[in-house]
Structure 1
Amino acid sequence: MSDSEETTHIVLDTERIIVEVEKRPALYNKELKEYSDRNAKEKLWTEVCANVIPKWHELSGAERKDRGKELQKEWKNLKDRFIKDIKVQKDIASGSAASKKRKYIFADIMQFLLPELKDRSTDTNIPETDIGTHDINDSKNISKEDEASGVKCHACHSAENYYLYPKITS
């Protein structure tokens, strides 16, 4: 790293960044109108920078721009790491052995992001009846047509009497 790179790199107070962003929901809440307003978000990021970056008001315009981008990149990294940690926790099967992986260090103070991370709804072009809406404990719910076509159910694909996918016959 050259001397000029060393002097432009700043050490940011990570917890302070998180706290300052939390105070400004338009920076992370996609439901808010201001989230889509570039000018409003630029103003909010300037406020965050002024509260996090030492001597912000003494910096030149170019230095402010560079350090502001660096702070925003740091926030994105923090948020992405938190999201990754949440997904890992969600994927751990119930009743499985405890994970040896440690909890993300900033997980507790980033809990305010949880409502923003809810799963997005998706649409499907597969009618619900094609997915197998029968009771998996009741083999009488399979129609004779489904049984004859050899369609196995997704919920109980190992059971002999349930169908969703066509049988492959040679």
Structure 2
Amino acid sequence: MKNNAFAAVAAVVVPNYDNMTEAKQREAVQVVQKRWRTARDAYRRDRNKVKNTKSGQAAKKYKTYIFYDNLKFLDQVMELNSTETNFDCTNKTWMRHVIVLANQRLELQNVLQEQIQ
């Protein structure tokens, strides 16, 4: 089920995904999974920095993760210091969030391409 969700995301964000061989599609899905984990982990690290700042403590200046605001939907499903899992929702809810993230990524890519040209 989870691989189907990543395959659906890969079909949206990877150019010519449908024309790829099955081996290349699996490779593209693995890249999407890796990038998702990287984005999720970066968000979690920044979220922990914000949450772990104690009241009255001098604010440290640090640059937040570029997609921090876009990933705030993860607050609904992430638990800090969880030892079992980071997701506590149904596969349909999780898939919906992944598709939202993929669409936001596409929008960002379009904006960046427009700025480059």
2:2 pairs with one of 21, 36, 41: 41
Q: Give the greater-gyration-radius structure (CA).
A: 1
Distance in 2 between residues matched to 1:62 and 1:53, nearest whole Å: 14
1:46 aligned counterpart, secondary structure: helix
Give unpaired runs (5+ residues) of structure 2.
Answer: 84-117
Alignment-derived partner of residue 79 in structure 1: 40
Alignment-derived partner of residue 99 in structure 1: 60
Distance in 1 between residues matched to 2:82 and 2:21, nearest whole Å: 45
What pairs up with 1:151-166 in 2 under 5 angstroms? Answer: none
1:117 aligned counterpart, secondary structure: coil
TM-score between both structures, scaled by the size of structure 1: 0.45
Deviations 1:12-68 (A, max 9, x none): xxxxxxxxxxxxxxxxxxxxxxxxxxxx22221111010000000111111111111
1:99 aligned counterpart, secondary structure: coil
Where does structure 1 differ by over 6 angstroms across 4 or more consecutive aligned residues? none
Alignment-derived partner of residue 26 in structure 2: 65
Q: 1:103 to 1:120 in 2, by over 3 A?
A: closer
Find out whether 1:88 has 2:52 as its counterpart. no
Alignment-derived partner of residue 114 in structure 1: 75
1:87 aligned counterpart, secondary structure: helix
Aligned length: 83
TM-score between both structures, scaled by the size of structure 2: 0.64
Q: Which has the higher helix share?
A: 2
Shift of 1:116: 1.4
Q: 1:84 to 1:120 in 2, by over 3 A?
A: closer
Q: 1:94 to 1:100 in 2, by over 3 A?
A: same
What fraction of aligned residue pairs are identical, expressed as a percent?
30
Distance in 2 between residues matched to 1:86 and 1:120, nearest whole Å: 12
Distance in 2 between residues matched to 1:120 and 1:95, nearest whole Å: 23
Q: Which structure is higher in RCO with an 8 Å CA cutoff and minimum separation 6?
A: 2
Q: 1:45 to 1:110 in 2, by over 3 A?
A: same
Question: Aligned partner of 1:91: which letter?
Answer: N
Give unpaired runs (5+ residues) of structure 1.
Answer: 1-39, 123-170
What pairs up with 1:19-30 in 2 under 5 angstroms? Answer: none
